[in-house]
Structures are given as structure tokens and as C-alpha cells.
Amino acid sequence: MRASLPLTVDRAAGVPLHLQLAEQIRAAIRDGRLQSGHRLPSTRDLAREVEVSRAVAQAAYDQLHAEGWIAGRTGSGTYVADVAPLPPEPHRAQPSRLRDPAGPKPLTLRPGIPFIARTPDPGWRRAWREVSGQSPPRGYEDAAGLPDLRAALAEHVGRVRGIACGPENLVVTNGTVHGLHLLLSTTLTAGDRIAMEDPGYVSAANAAHAHRVEIVDVPVDADGLQVAQLPDDVAAAYVTPSHQYPLGGRLPVARRNELVRWARRTGATLIEDDYDSEFRYDVAPLPALAQLDLDRVVHLGTLSKMLSPSLRLGWLVASTAVADRITAYREHTSDWPAWPMQAALLAMLRDGYLDRLVRRSSRLYADRRNLTCRLLAPYGRVVGQDAGLHITLLLPDHVDDDALAAKARAAGIAVAPLSDYRRTIPGPPGLVIGYATPSDEDLLTALKLLAGLLAASRP
């Protein structure tokens, strides 16, 4: 049955037209006016009925599809997904003045966590159906990862990141931090020195501490790591050149070349955390650092931003000597990802699902990035907005970002102060604001509350 709804748009509302349409359809699904299996009008018909462009109608459907509210059927059209409506809340007595012990609903603006739809994506379902139809291996898996998966990953990183490699260069990991642990265990020894960006990725620094490796803090600027500040007496340097975490600098080609020359001269290992390389909005991606010299660079990738951090799945690309050393180490630790997860990733790569997911999610995140920048730009300087799932808002020097984050938590908003990412090198206060995780409604609510706190912090 084709659904018919009185949809309208208000061009003076200050909210993008496609978001207005998406919210009206979403509300109709929530309250049961649209039910699972209802067929929605085509984008052409919707555009004509509401008097908007077809691109606006398509963007509204893309938004709802990314959130799991609707699904497409090949050759048939677009339908409401299997989402049960929320029942009306029963009448309750007037609450007392005592605070609910559960507290207010938390709205998370923490960085690094993607949006997870309410219902599984068809591509996700297809991958697991394929896995469920296979018999598991008779013995233990290859310590480097399934051979077919490593071959598919070699093709993937060659195509999307420009790294010329084969399956012999790939090791399947439990994610970026796990790959870093493997590398530190097999390449460095206690007491060695490793250069790291400051401010930088806290989990990477924790991994170095766990291996009793001494961290040498190196400053970053608007372009990322300041290569000229690297000392010569370190065994390795950990960098996030695609989107420096957390400030968002994009290491330019000249600095990449300088960094590789430094590694060749000193003999240091470059550890490339390919953080946020998948999602770019206003600029084309630069090829991976590992493309320049796979003998000196070890490349770490992950599925956490594309699918979910909870999958604990990623990859490491290195020279055959390094990959073989790590594989031999894992023969003793047996800490490789389980076969079903590896097989599912292989199915997703073969099906083209990951490519489609990145394209669809990029549209969703670009809209959220724009909204976040627009609402928060009056209160500081936005940096890192060209890529990824977060922006960083640099604040005036008089602002205490720890205290501001604490006030946000008290108001029900989880947000990270920039001071959490600093170690020894001082810099301006700020907030690291993720915009991917919440729903559209929750994101707007959280940003408005945060804007109110920022306005109140002005002298």
C-alpha cells in the first residue's frame, strides 16, 4: 500500500528542507501513522507533491535510510522498515521534586563513534547470511588472518588509500590500538623512545606506557605534526596524518615527504594511524603515508568509524618482514579476530557494501558537520571540519574547558575537553565535539544546550 501523508516545508524555518521532510516522515513512523511495509512515494512524486527539488527528496530518503527507518527494494521502491512504533507513555502522577536517580537522558557528543541505525542494514544482513551458510574452519585460522580476506583488504587499501601491497603485507587485527600493541611488542623494547603528537590520541599513549616505552611529545599545528620538531634519537613516530586527532590537521605532501626522509635518515619506524580517512567533505583525500615507503611505514586501519567500534576489527599493512614477525608473535598469543567476523568483513568487501556505506554515511555526516559548525562557530574557532566525525572548538584563553565540560555533563551532555588530549605541551582550551552518534533530534538539542553554556561562559 502506498503511503499518503500531508508533508510540508517551511522555507523560512532556517532548517534544511530535507531535514524537515525526514523529521515529518520519522514522526509518522514513530507514532504508527506509517507502519512497517508501507510503500513511500518515489522521490519524483514526493518532490512534486511537496514542491521541492528531487535532490531534496532524495536527501530526505538518504537520511532516513542511513538511520534505518526506511529500506529500498530493488525494482520495487522504498518502504518503511521493520520498526515498531513507540506506544504512548502511560499517565503518571506528577513527579516529586526529588531528582530521578537515573538522571537526565545523556546526549553524547563524544568523538569517534559512528551513527548506528535502529535496524540492521540490508548489506549487514546479507553478510551474516553468507557467513551462516558456511562451515567453520576445521582447525585454527591463519594467525595473520583469513587469506582471502587479506587479499580483499590489499585490493581495498590499494584502491582507496593508494598503498601498493599484497596479502603478504596484511595482518588482520582487533582494531587500531590492537595493531599498535602488536607492533610495539615486536618492534620496540622497554626503554625505547617513541615520538607522539601532543595533543594526541590518548589510547595510543596508553599503549606506549603499557609497553614501558618513553613518549617524546611533539607539537602540532594547523597542518598536523611539526616534522621539524622531531628528535633523531627515537625508535618510532606515531602520527595521524589524514586527520590529526584531535585538532584535525591534514599533513601536506611536503611534510609527508619530509617525514619519510627523516625516517630513512634516522632508521625510525613511522606508525601511520589512518584516522578518519574514510570521511572527507570539502577536500579530496591524500594518499596514505604508507604509499611513500612501505619499508619505513606501518599503516593501521579500522572498521570502527565505518561500522562500529564494538566489532573490534581492523588491519595492519607493513613490509613482509614486519608482517611475518607479527604473525610469528601471534602464533603464541592466539589473539586474532574470530573467524565469523573475518568472514563477514570479507563478504562486505566482496559485495561492495563498505563502499556504499561510506558514500551514504558521508552525506549524513556532512549535514551534521554543517549544523554543528553553524551553531557553535559564534563561540570560538572551529578546526578539523574537513573530515571525520568530530570538530574541535578552540575557545578563548579565559575559558576553563574542564569546568565547561563538567557543566555540560551536569546538563546531560557528554563532551570532551581538549585538555584531556594534552600531555606536556600547552595550548588553547577547547572542546572536541562528535556529531555522528546521536539522532538528528538529539544532536540539535545537545548543540543548543551547549551553545547556551558557551554563551554563559563569555566575560
Tell which residue, 386, 198, 187, has the closest CA to residue 286. Answer: 386
pLDDT over threshold 90, residue 200: yes
| Residue 83's pLDDT band (cuts 50, 70, 90) | low
| Residue 262's pLDDT band (cuts 50, 70, 90) | very high
- Cβ atoms of 183 and 326 closer than 8 Å: yes
Torsion of CA 443, 446, 449, 452, to 10 degrees: -60
The reported pTM is: 0.77
Which secondary structure element, helix H or strand E, spans residue 77, and what is its range? Answer: strand 77-80
What's the mean pLDDT in 3-24? Answer: 78
Side by side, which strands form the sheet with 70-73? Answer: 39-40, 77-80, 70-73
Task: Using a pLDDT cut of 70, give the percent of the chain over it.
Answer: 92
Residue carrying the nine cell digits 570560538: 380
Please tell me the predicted confidence (pLDDT) of residue 105: 60
pLDDT over threshold 90, residue 197: yes
Please tell me the predicted confidence (pLDDT) of residue 78: 87
Residues 6+ apart with CB under 8 A from 179: 171, 173, 300, 314, 315, 316
Please tell me the predicted confidence (pLDDT) of residue 75: 63
pLDDT over threshold 80, residue 439: yes
Kindly report the average pLDDT of the chain as a whole number: 88
Q: How many other C-beta atoms lie within 10 A of the C-beta of residue 166?
A: 12
Residues 6+ apart with CB under 8 A from 65: 71, 72, 78, 360
Residue carrying the nine cell digits 507514532: 31
**How crowded is the C-beta side of 104, counted as CA atoms within 13 Å?**
13
Per-residue pLDDT tens digits for 308-367: 888 889 999 999 999 999 999 998 888 888 899 999 999 999 999 888 888 888 889 999
Between 237 and 57, the higher pLDDT residue: 237
Rounded CA gap, 263 and 202, in Å? Answer: 23
Rounded CA gap, 315 and 336, in Å? Answer: 11
pLDDT over threshold 70, residue 50: yes
Tell which residue, 100, 84, 91, has the closest CA to residue 32. Answer: 84
DSSP per-residue codes, 368-436? HHHHHHHHHGGGSEEE-TTBSSEEEEE--TT--HHHHHHHHHHTTEE-EEGGGG-SSS----EEEEE-S
Angle (deg, nearest 10), helices 353-376 and 122-132 = 150
What's the mean pLDDT in 428-450? Answer: 94
What's the mean pLDDT in 268-289? Answer: 87
| Residue 28's pLDDT band (cuts 50, 70, 90) | confident
- Cβ atoms of 219 and 229 closer than 8 Å: yes
Amino acid at 377: A
What's the mean pLDDT in 126-137? Answer: 88
User: What is the sign of the dihedral through the CA atoms of 76, 77, 78 and 79?
Assistant: negative
- The alpha carbon of 300 is separated from its chain's Cα centroid by a whole number of angstroms, namely 14
pLDDT over threshold 90, residue 198: yes
Please tell me the predicted confidence (pLDDT) of residue 115: 87
pLDDT over threshold 60, residue 40: yes
- What is the tally of helices (H) and strands (E) in the chain? 13, 17
Least confident of 95-99, 115-119, 435-439: 95-99
Least confident of 82-86, 108-112, 238-242, 326-330: 82-86
Please tell me the predicted confidence (pLDDT) of residue 459: 80
Helix, strand, or coil here: 302? strand
